[in-house]
Chains A and B, each alone.
Chain A
Amino acid sequence: MNKQLIALLSCTTLLGACATHGINTDRSELDGARQAVSQARQAGAETCAPKLMAKAQAELYWAAHELTEGVHPDENAMHIAHAEKFAMQAKDKADKECHKPVEVIALTGVNFKTNSAELTPASTAILDAAVATLNKRSNIRVEIGAHTDSRGQETYNQQLSEKRAMSVGDYLVSHGINADRLAMHGYGEAKPIADNATAEGRAQNRRVELTVLN
């Protein structure tokens, strides 16, 4: 009876082990392909080149399976070569797509009254130029990012910057820019570009920027 029970338990354990796949890619023959796939993954290929990355990964597993069979050496070599080729293509594409330089249009001169989201009269000329740019480049979407210096409470600066981003957005929309092309974001004091310890630095940090999204 005990022998039967042990046999039954052993079979159950083995069946459970079969529930996960048994394809082992940690073989020395696959070192090159595995490294290429890993490099592509690190470059962000799963996000920026998903089709090529999937092909590379699939070929790697296929190669690993064929190696366990040990019957078709030509097929093994083909799958390994395919895995490396697709991984390199995926990495190249990811290097371009994932790390596109971000275009930022600084709205230098756009200012607000102190502790307010009300635009100063001098700001309208700069915003009119922004309207003209957005009309000229009618296919771009932009994020309106408003920033403050670090004086005062962080939460207050965050809320103020959000209101200021909305204020700029309202101006652009009221001058004909489609609201669907705009995203408003207040960054508060979180992203300084200069030293907040100096008056000049704080002035630089108090800014509004348009970041091109597409």
Chain B
Amino acid sequence: MKYKLFASGVLGCALMSFASPAMAMSFPSVGDRAEAVRAEVGKVHNYHAYLATQFASIAESEIYDHDLRAAKEFIKMAEEEAAKAGAAK
């Protein structure tokens, strides 16, 4: 019984050690998302494109201020504007 518990624990630890990096890779950082927004709207010159890059910069600034909730909020707004910029092309 003890052996089974020990084996389960080792297996669980092994799975977690492989899962954590994989989980991290599936959630891009705010910085990565900001770069993605800039890449998406880089050559678009309309209001929504400019607003997208503004929101992306604010998101990065909020990360610097350690306000992750605000950063996530602004990067989401950036992504929404980037989508509108593409549609308005």
* A and B interact: yes
Q: Using a CB–CB distance below 8 Å, which chain A residues touch chain B?
A: 21-23, 46-47, 50-51, 53-55, 57-58, 61-62, 65, 69
Q: Are B58 and A58 in contact (CB under 8 A)?
A: yes
CB A68 to nearest CB in B, in angstroms, measures 9
Interface centre among A23, A54, A62 (most CB of B within 10 A): A54
Q: How large is the interface on B (under 10, 10 to 19, 20 to 34, 35 or more residues)?
A: 10 to 19
Tally of contacts, chain A with chain B, CB under 8 A = 38
Inter-chain contacts of A46 with B (CB < 8 A): 47
Q: Does B73 contact A (CB under 8 A)?
A: yes
CB-nearest residue of chain B to A48: B47
Q: Are A61 and B77 in contact (CB under 8 A)?
A: yes
Q: Does B46 contact A (CB under 8 A)?
A: yes
Give the residue of B49, B67, B77 whose beta carbon is less than 8 angstroms from that of A21: B77
CB B37 to nearest CB in A, in angstroms, measures 13
Q: Does B45 contact A (CB under 8 A)?
A: yes
Q: Does B83 contact A (CB under 8 A)?
A: no
Q: Are A21 and B50 in contact (CB under 8 A)?
A: no
Give the residue of B46, B55, B67 whose beta carbon is less than 8 angstroms from that of A58: B55
Give the residue of A21, A51, A65 whose beta carbon is less than 8 angstroms from that of B76: A21
Q: Does B63 contact A (CB under 8 A)?
A: no
Report B46-57 CB contacts with A as 1/0, cut-off 8 Å.
110111011100
Q: Are A50 and B73 in contact (CB under 8 A)?
A: no
| Secondary structure call for the A interface | helix
Inter-chain contacts of A50 with B (CB < 8 A): 45-47, 49-50
Inter-chain contacts of A57 with B (CB < 8 A): 51, 54
Give the residue of B51, B70, B74 whose beta carbon is less than 8 angstroms from that of A54: B51
Q: Are A21 and B47 in contact (CB under 8 A)?
A: no
Inter-chain contacts of A21 with B (CB < 8 A): 73, 76-77
Q: In the docked arrangement, what's the CA distance between A53 and B54, Å?
A: 11
12 A–B pairs (Cβ distance < 8 Å), ordered by A: A21-B77, A23-B73, A50-B45, A51-B50, A54-B47, A54-B53, A55-B50, A58-B55, A61-B74, A61-B77, A62-B58, A65-B73
Q: In the docked arrangement, what's the CA distance between A54 and B53, Å?
A: 9
Q: In the docked arrangement, what's the CA distance between A69 and B62, Å?
A: 12
Further contacts, 14 of them, CB under 8 A, given A55-B54, A58-B54: A22-B73, A23-B77, A46-B47, A50-B46, A50-B47, A54-B50, A54-B51, A57-B51, A58-B51, A58-B55, A62-B58, A65-B70, A65-B74, A69-B67
